[in-house]
Amino acid sequence: MVVNRSWFVWLLGTWLCLVSAPGAGQGAGGDDLFLAVQATPQKVMVQGQVVLTVQFFRAIEIAGAALSAPELAAEQAVLERLGEDRAYTSSHQGRPYQVVERRYALFPQKSGRLTIPPLRLEVQSGRRGLFAFLDDSLAGRSGEIKRRFSEAVEIEVEPMASQAQGERHWLPAHRVQLLEKWQESSLRLQVGESVTRTLTLLADGLTAAQLPELAPLALAGQGEEMKYYPDQPQLRDQHEASGIIGMRQEKVAMVPTRAGKVVLPAIEVAWWNVDEGRREVARIAARTVEVAAAAQAQQPVRAPAASQGPAEVGAAPEVPARQGGAVAEPATAWLVPFLALGWGVTVLLWGISGWRRRQAAQPVAAAEVQTVAQADHWAVLQRACQDGAAPLCRTALLSWAQARWPEARLAHLHDLEHFWQRQGWHELVQELHDLHRCSFASQGEVWQGARLWQQLHALPASTRSGHHAVLPALYPLEVTHAPP
């Protein structure tokens, strides 16, 4: 009798443990509701991507369900949900089930063992018809609530590879691409003309926030033959069923300052191939571009050709030859000294005209040298205003103002603001305030640069171009306005 009682107690305890265990209902044969959680891969490099797949299986009608998110501290891992829930029909142990699947992208931040606690599922009994999604909570709903728990998931996180210890960036990914695109299909550069180079970095298995800046890599080792104006980068994550594809895109406006050959160095981004277990490099090869001289510089002031001298202006007519040794008629004899005098006056006037041309060419050349810097910045400033690129406009505006008013000693945009206030240009001051506000707004306010460009063009031509003579457009971009 004692033995039978002990046997009964053992059976009862075993049954209670099976019913109350957190993992109960995780796919045992005949279960109507259960959760399945799978991590792919189960071994990953630190900051690499793990796809966490959560599947809710049901074989009965329900009125609703709510699934808890994985509970992980921020220092443990970064978690992002991949798209919307997916519903389909599947078979498990020979029994048909309706399945709702949810996926997460998980990026461990520390090496070692990462434990994902059991996920909790709450199910409301009843009939609802077609059920294809999971809620976050069933709070406030009436009816019987059933709970199910998944098993905990263990992930082994390996440290950074020893071969990548000296790298500036650690990028464990499945695939990385580095692309470039130029504003023009045929790359033809000219002094003073702005051209835009777009750099794009794509990484399969990383978020855009993990990707490095590209502009410093593109500008490394550059000389003074080119000026660069980087724009605000664009970051975007594309969520796929297999994970996240991060994209970082940066645009750089380039303005050549001298003619000749310019070498653009190679751009390299080292990354770790998690599939092959090796270091690889995404690369844009170096290239040499030819920069043509400015349009105005190709048209020097021409002095009149020697063949267009006085003989062309007023050549003496042919003097009648003597006939039979006789002297010309007295009525035409006075023409010879008169024509000689006219020829001498013409030579004198031509010499004075050439001297004046040479004298005028000297200040024009000096004005051209000073105007080149202003025209460079003016072209970039125009593009920034038209594109609404506030960060690029701030850089170009200050550079243009420093070249335009060197005597004002403008070190910051605040100095430019005070200078404009002293000049009484209150509309420009207001547009500068708008530029400041949009550049540093917490919600990313959109800046309209057309108004600033309009106010700059409203300045008198002498004010925009200085005390030097206004030259024809040396470096036209897309409009025919005279550059400053």
- Tabulate helix, strand, coil % of the chain (nearest 5): 30, 30, 40
The residue type of 78 is V
Q: What is the average pLDDT across 248-258? A: 91
Is pLDDT of 479 > 50? no
Q: What is the predicted pLDDT for the residue at 343? A: 66
Instruction: Dump the DSSP string for 229-251.
Output: EEPPPEEEEEEETTEEEEEEEEE
Closest residue by Cα to residue 375 from 458, 237, 470: 470
Q: What is the average pLDDT across 473-480? A: 35
Is pLDDT of 212 > 60? yes
Closest residue by Cα to residue 483 from 225, 189, 182, 194: 194
Stated length of the chain = 484
Instruction: For residue 307, name the pLDDT band (cuts at 50, 70, 90).
Output: very low
322 compared with 371, residue with greater pLDDT: 371
The C-alpha angle with vertex 432 and arms to 431 and 438, in degrees rounded to 5, equals 90
Q: For the chain, which domains are there?
A: 24-158 (2.60.40), 162-291 (2.60.40), 294-300+364-484 (no CATH)
267 compared with 28, residue with greater pLDDT: 267
Tokens of 482: 């005279």
pLDDT digits (tens, 9 = 90+) for 10-35: 444 444 333 333 333 455 546 889 99
Q: What is the predicted pLDDT for the residue at 478? A: 38
Q: Confirm if 273 and 451 have CB atoms less than 8 A apart.
A: no
55 compared with 185, residue with greater pLDDT: 55
Q: What is the average pLDDT across 124-132? A: 60
pLDDT digits (tens, 9 = 90+) for 314-356: 444 443 444 444 444 444 555 656 666 766 666 677 666 666 6
46-50, 154-158, 199-203, 450-454: the lowest-pLDDT one: 450-454
Q: What is the average pLDDT across 234-238? A: 95
Q: What is the predicted pLDDT for the residue at 422? A: 85
Q: What is the predicted pLDDT for the residue at 174? A: 96
Q: Confirm if 284 and 266 have CB atoms less than 8 A apart.
A: yes
Is pLDDT of 6 > 60? no
What is the rounded CA–CA span in Å between residue 323 and residue 329?
11
Q: What is the average pLDDT across 406-423? A: 81
Instruction: For residue 266, name the pLDDT band (cuts at 50, 70, 90).
Output: very high
pTM of the model: 0.59
Determine whether 368 is exposed, middle or buried from the number of CB atoms within 10 Å of its CB (0-12, 13-18, 19+): middle
